[in-house]
Copies of this chain bind each other. A is one copy, B any other.
Amino acid sequence: MTIGSLAEATQTRVETVRWYEKVGLLPPPARSSGNYRLYGPEHLRRLSFIRRGRALGFTVEQIRDLLALADDRDRSCGEVDTIARAHLADVERKLADLTRLASELREVIGQCGCGSVADCRIIEALSPLGEPA
Contact = CB atoms under 8 A, between A and B. Distances in A.
B45 A133 contact: yes
DSSP majority for the A interface? Answer: helix
B88 A106 contact: yes
A38 interface: no
A82 to B, nearest CB: 10
Contacts of A114: 76-78, 81
Interface of A: 42, 44-45, 48-49, 52-53, 56-57, 66, 69-78, 80-81, 84-85, 87-88, 91-92, 94-95, 98-99, 101-102, 104-106, 108-109, 112-120, 122-123, 125-129, 132-133
Shortest 5 CB-CB distances between A and B: which pairs? A77-B120, A73-B118, A88-B105, A70-B123, A77-B114
